[in-house]
């Protein structure tokens, strides 16, 4: 029982249930669309087997029927066949109580799991089952009469089992918190790279950056035993070579056996030294270089770090044939070379927030902030990278409110763009702590999705619930008790044309495998099957999958889309689509992942949950007269101007006085949208007219477009068909 309604009882014995079988039968007949058809005799049979639970309300010593649950128990699995709550008793947690009673009964009798079959189109029912811990095990086709899709849901009971539970958990839908962990890349060093450690060598600074990154844990370095052979071969007689002693510090990998070398050498030589290979004029240095490559290939290492131009020029072909990366030390130095400077954001309170790189001058303030949050001194230096002597090892940013540091974000520079471990902290006592967390998380995801699919591991101090709450909205997940959250971040658009490329990128970053062919759009809550890193199959609704991978849009065949107009003066703040950075503070709307688009009340019917929304910047006030961005509708609602609150207006670019600018009607449609993707090339009015999207006047109203028009716009808007990569999440 629960405190909210102690008058409700759950009956499970036959002598208690029998008087209510007629009421159960009548209730089941009242909604056959949702409950299906069961003959009357079945309810009596299940009652006799004590597989019928009845909820009753105690009213003046009378028991009144409130709901029932029909189940089948065949060890070791239970199956819910039907559940119903009478209308007068709904929203009193009676369904949850019936299910809790069944869970306890089956657990006490050593059952392993419970199953329930729920039609995919019953949105509210599916939300209930998901909230009760029932994940989707498989999808089946329903009967021919209704042509439904059936979701077979399962809940694993807390009973001793011969086999370990699946590990499927709604808090970690992609299984990123499972045993799979991105590997730290391991590179072999060429001899010329070691020599550059000399203080007078021209490339000395590049090599120092490389070794700083190894110390920060971004990569590992090793040598081939061929290095020892090279040093011995090139040593001067009677002269001690300190490099030979230094080389012993590194782990070393043996060169291939004679048989392995003979198999690899011809192919490598033809790629790296094609001319000398053709004439049989390979030098001793050439053969030594090829042995380094062969060692990395034979031991399946990440790659080779070298300054040799012949090997670097062959990097693409070597990667294609042997899956090995050949890079120069400069590649480590050039990582994240395009870092931005300070950005300022408005807030509702009138304060301004600024995010800026952390330098040596701010390290003391960061150190004090983390100490106050309970981080140990050693962790502050080693894990949180507060001290970065040369500012080349980590990306470090602070959020300042009126020059006071209230947030800190750091992640190491890495040569593996699809794996990122970030540390984030906010001063939770500050009024703008929530906005600071939003700003840093948005910036982190924006950096992680710059041309890549990335898995982000987010670590934060204890008792920072605000970070956890905001991160969950952005698609981060993690198991209860975990000290970190994980997210897979994609930017841009996924369509039929780039499906294989994008799902391969997802797999490389996370070991999560989506279907090999794109499904056709049925509904935003349709289930997508996936294989998790731990080998378990799972299912996620399209809406939940987009959120987990945000900011990405699955433009599946048949997905509804609308074009809606927005003025230039509003668009540049709401969408932040301009490639030129403004010298003025960013609008407060950019702090939110979910932003608000306000329009007339008549547009409500166009903004259905899950629809794609394409923003057309009108030509008025020097606007582009083109579609500039695409996003996803979360939901939409009507609200009068007088009732508008800051929660409605803050994620928009309007205030109470600016509402008049979007129409005279007192009631407005508030459309909540997210997963904004900026088009690489704005699609102009002339192209829209050619695609049949309407005249110039038609483009000034919200209008639906068909699938051909949508993909025509995407093909025009992105360089590589529909592979758009620029996204905005702040």
Q: Per-10-residue mean pLDDT for the chain, 730 residues long?
A: 63 93 90 70 88 90 91 87 91 93 88 89 88 86 80 81 55 70 77 71 69 74 79 63 71 88 92 90 87 90 87 86 83 53 81 88 92 89 74 82 92 74 91 91 87 85 86 83 84 91 87 92 91 84 92 94 90 78 66 88 92 92 90 91 79 69 76 92 92 83 92 87 44
Q: What is the pTM of this model?
A: 0.73
Is-contact 553 677, C-beta < 8 A?
yes
Among 567, 528, 591, 533, smallest CA distance to 663 is for 567
Tell me what pLDDT residue 661 has: 62
Tell me what pLDDT residue 648 has: 79
Tell me what pLDDT residue 333 has: 57
Longest dimension (CA), the chain: 107
Is-contact 467 652, C-beta < 8 A?
no
Compute CA distances 395 → 205, 217, 371, 435, whole Å: 18, 14, 20, 20
Phi, psi of 689 (to 5 degrees): -65, -40
- Interatomic CA distance for residues 193 and 197, integer angstroms: 7
- Beta strands 113-119 and 77-85 are parallel
Among 729, 710, 727, 728, smallest CA distance to 496 is for 710
Tell me what pLDDT residue 234 has: 63
Domains of the chain: 8-156 (3.40.630.30), 186-333 (3.40.50.1010), 352-489 (3.40.630.30), 561-728 (3.10.590.10)
Here the tokens at position 684 are 């102009």
Tell me what pLDDT residue 579 has: 67
- Interatomic CA distance for residues 24 and 686, integer angstroms: 63
Tell me what pLDDT residue 620 has: 83
CA atoms within a 13 Å half-sphere pointing along the CA-CB vector of 711: 14
Is-contact 332 320, C-beta < 8 A?
no
Tell me what pLDDT residue 726 has: 44
Tell me what pLDDT residue 582 has: 55
């Amino acid at each position: 029982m629960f405190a909210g309604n102690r008058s409700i009882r759950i009956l499970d014995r036959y002598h208690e249930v029998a008087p209510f079988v007629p009421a159960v039968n009548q209730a089941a007949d009242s909604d056959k669309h949702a409950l299906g058809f069961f003959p009357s005799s079945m309810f009596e049979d299940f009652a006799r087997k004590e597989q019928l639970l009845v909820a009753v309300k105690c009213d003046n010593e009378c028991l009144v029927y409130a709901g029932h649950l029909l189940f089948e128990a065949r060890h070791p699995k239970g199956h819910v066949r039907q559940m119903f709550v009478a209308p007068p008793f709904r929203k009193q947690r009676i369904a949850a109580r019936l299910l809790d009673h069944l869970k306890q009964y089956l657990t006490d009798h050593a059952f392993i799991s419970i199953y329930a079959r729920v039609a995919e189109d019953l949105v509210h029912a599916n939300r209930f089952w998901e909230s009760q811990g029932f994940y989707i095990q498989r999808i089946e086709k329903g009967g021919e009469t209704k042509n439904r899709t059936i979701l077979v849901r399962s809940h694993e009971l807390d009973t001793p089992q011969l086999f370990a539970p699946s590990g499927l958990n709604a808090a970690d839908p992609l299984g990123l918190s499972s045993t799979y962990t991105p590997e730290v890349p391991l590179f072999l060093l060429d001899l010329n790279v070691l020599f550059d450690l000399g203080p007078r060598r021209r490339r000395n600074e590049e090599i120092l950056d490389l070794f700083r990154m190894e110390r920060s844990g971004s990569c590992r370095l090793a040598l081939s035993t061929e290095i020892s052979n090279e040093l011995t071969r090139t040593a001067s007689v009677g002269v001690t070579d300190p490099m030979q002693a230094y080389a012993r510090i590194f782990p070393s990998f043996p060169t291939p056996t004679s048989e392995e070398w003979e198999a690899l050498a011809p192919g490598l030589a033809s790629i790296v030294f094609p001319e000398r290979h053709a004439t049989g004029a390979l030098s001793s240095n050439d053969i030594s270089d090829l042995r380094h490559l062969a060692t990395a290939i034979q031991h399946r290492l990440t790659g080779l770090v070298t300054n040799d131009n012949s090997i670097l020029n062959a990097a693409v072909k070597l990667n294609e044939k042997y899956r090995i990366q050949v890079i120069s030390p400069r590649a480590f130095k050039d990582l994240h070379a395009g870092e931005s400077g300070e950005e300022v954001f408005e807030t509702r309170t009138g304060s301004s927030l600024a995010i800026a790189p952390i330098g040596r001058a701010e390290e003391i303030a960061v150190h004090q902030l983390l100490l106050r949050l309970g981080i140990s001194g050693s962790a502050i230096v080693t894990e949180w990278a507060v001290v970065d002597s040369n500012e080349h090892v980590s990306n470090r940013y602070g959020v300042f409110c009126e020059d006071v540091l209230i947030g800190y974000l750091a992640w190491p520079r890495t040569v593996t763009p699809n794996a990122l471990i970030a540390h984030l902290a906010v001063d939770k006592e500050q009024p703008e702590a929530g906005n600071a967390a939003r700003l840093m998380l948005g910036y982190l995801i924006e950096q992680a999705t710059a041309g890549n699919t990335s898995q982000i591991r987010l670590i934060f101090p204890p008792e920072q619930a605000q970070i956890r709450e905001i991160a969950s909205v952005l698609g981060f997940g993690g198991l209860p008790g975990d000290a970190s959250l994980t997210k897979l971040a994609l930017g841009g658009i996924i369509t039929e044309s780039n499906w294989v490329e994008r799902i391969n990128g997802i797999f490389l970053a996370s070991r999560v495998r989506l279907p090999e062919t794109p499904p056709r759009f049925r509904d935003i809550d349709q289930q997508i099957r996936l294989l998790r890193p731990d080998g378990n199959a799972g299912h996620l609704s399209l809406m939940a999958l987009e959120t987990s991978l945000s900011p990405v849009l699955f433009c599946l065949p048949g997905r509804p889309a609308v074009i809606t107009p927005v003025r230039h003066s509003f668009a540049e703040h709401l969408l932040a689509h301009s490639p030129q950075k403004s010298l003025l503070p960013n609008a407060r709307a950019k702090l939110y992942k979910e932003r608000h688009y306000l329009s007339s009340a008549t547009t409500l019917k166009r903004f259905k949950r899950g629809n794609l929304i394409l923003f057309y910047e009108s030509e008025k006030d020097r606007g582009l007269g083109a579609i500039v961005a695409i996003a996803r509708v979360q939901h939409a609602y009507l609200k009068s101007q007088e009732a508008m609150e800051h929660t409605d207006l803050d994620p928009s670019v309007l205030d109470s006085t600016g509402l008049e600018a979007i129409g005279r009607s007192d009631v407005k449609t508030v459309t909540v949208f997210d997963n904004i993707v900026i088009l690489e090339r704005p699609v102009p009015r002339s192209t829209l007219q050619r695609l049949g999207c309407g005249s110039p006047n038609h483009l000034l109203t919200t209008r639906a477009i068909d699938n051909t028009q949508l993909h025509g716009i995407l093909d025009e808007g992105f360089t590589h068909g529909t592979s758009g990569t620029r996204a905005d999440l702040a």
